[in-house]
């Protein structure tokens, strides 16, 4: 599954799933641009990728800031070339019971997870249309398909990402551009560590007990590894996957089977 000659952009690419995807795309031969908000984390990720032999560029970008997003494509084009593969991975999590749910939490999760994905697609896709080839891969969640207790804002935002994925897939069919979503369960990343810490804080359970409760949400009783998500992203990015579009592929140990 060679991606030699392709240029990929991974948002939220400084850690976790995003960094794993950046490494996997680079190993497949792509030049990789990683974008994230934290400059220090981003430069560390870029150094790690360079050490592994990748042709890489890093761009500080907040996906909720349209001015920053609109500078992404020209910046990457200058350093690596036009973007063939877009991986919308930037996202945040948060939880709260619905009664008394903070409006700020609702607005923040939709702004980052859904509007951020929209912003980056709007900035990058027109050039793909002009060149009549592209791959858009949105990192959604099994929360795109099923509700979760105390996760109304996160679930709504990820359902929105899936709707955006499907609508774009239909609209971009004539241009040889595929648009798909990957829907992970709980992945062994810093974001999940934050979730575990939140459970400890709110319930008084030990870290081990909190981790076990998260692992138990998968029929395989484990966290998904970032590399498992990355492998699906690489597959979707290839020419061989040209017949796969508008799909939402679960990587969750069998938790959600639709």
Residue 1 lies in a domain: no
Same domain, 205 and 181: no
The torsion region of residue 246 among left (phi > 0), alpha (psi -120 to 50) and beta comes to: left
Number of domains in the chain: 2
Residue 125 lies in a domain: yes
Same domain, 108 and 59: yes
Q: Kindly report, residue by residue over 71-127, the tens digit of the pLDDT.
A: 999 999 999 999 999 999 999 999 899 999 999 999 999 999 999 999 999 999 999
Q: Kindly report, residue by residue over 151-191, the tens digit of the pLDDT.
A: 999 999 999 999 999 999 999 999 999 999 999 999 999 88
Cβ pair 111, 155 in contact under 8 A: no
**Residue-range definition of the domain harbouring residue 20:** 7-185+227-250
Confidence (pLDDT) at 199: 85
Same domain, 58 and 131: yes
| Structure token pair of residue 150 | 């105390």
| Cα separation, 175 vs 47, whole angstroms | 35
| Cα separation, 136 vs 179, whole angstroms | 5
Nearest to 216 by CA among 185, 241, 246: 185
The residues assigned a catalytic role are 154
User: Does the predicted model carry a pTM greater than 0.85?
Assistant: yes
Same domain, 110 and 235: yes
Question: Domain with 158 in it: what CATH number?
Answer: 3.40.50.720
Alpha helices, H only, 52-145: 66-70, 72-79, 103-109, 116-131
Residue 258 lies in a domain: no
Cβ pair 246, 167 in contact under 8 A: no
Same domain, 19 and 73: yes
| Structure token pair of residue 98 | 């619905």
With cut-offs at 50, 70 and 90, classify the pLDDT of residue 201. Answer: confident
Same domain, 17 and 115: yes
Same domain, 16 and 119: yes
Q: Which 3 state secondary structure label does DSSP give 207?
A: helix
| Cα separation, 183 vs 53, whole angstroms | 29
């Amino acid at each position: 599954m060679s991606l030699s000659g392709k240029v990929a952009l991974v948002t939220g690419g400084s850690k976790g799933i995003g960094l794993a995807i950046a490494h996997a795309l680079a190993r497949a031969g792509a030049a990789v641009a990683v974008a994230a908000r934290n400059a220090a984390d981003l430069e560390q990720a870029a150094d790690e990728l360079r050490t592994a032999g990748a042709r890489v560029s890093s761009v500080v970008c907040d996906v909720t800031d349209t001015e920053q997003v609109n500078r992404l494509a020209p910046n990457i084009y200058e350093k690596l070339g036009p973007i063939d593969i877009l991986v919308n991975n930037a996202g945040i999590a948060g939880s709260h019971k619905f009664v008394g749910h903070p409006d700020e939490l609702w607005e923040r999760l939709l702004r980052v997870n859904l509007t951020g994905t929209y912003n980056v697609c709007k900035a990058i896709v027109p050039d793909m249309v002009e060149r009549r080839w592209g791959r858009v891969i949105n990192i959604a969640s099994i929360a795109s398909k099923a509700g979760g207790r105390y996760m109304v804002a996160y679930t709504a935002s990820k359902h929105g990402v899936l709707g955006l994925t499907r609508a774009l897939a239909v609209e971009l069919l004539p241009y040889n551009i595929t648009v798909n979503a990957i829907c992970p369960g709980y992945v062994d990343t810093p974001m999940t560590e934050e979730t575990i810490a939140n459970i400890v804080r709110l319930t008084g359970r030990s870290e081990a007990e909190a981790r076990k409760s998260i692992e138990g949400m998968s029929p395989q009783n484990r966290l998904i590894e970032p590399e498992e998500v990355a492998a699906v992203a690489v597959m979707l990015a290839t020419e061989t996957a040209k017949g796969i579009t508008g799909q939402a592929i679960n990587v969750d140990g069998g938790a959600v089977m639709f």
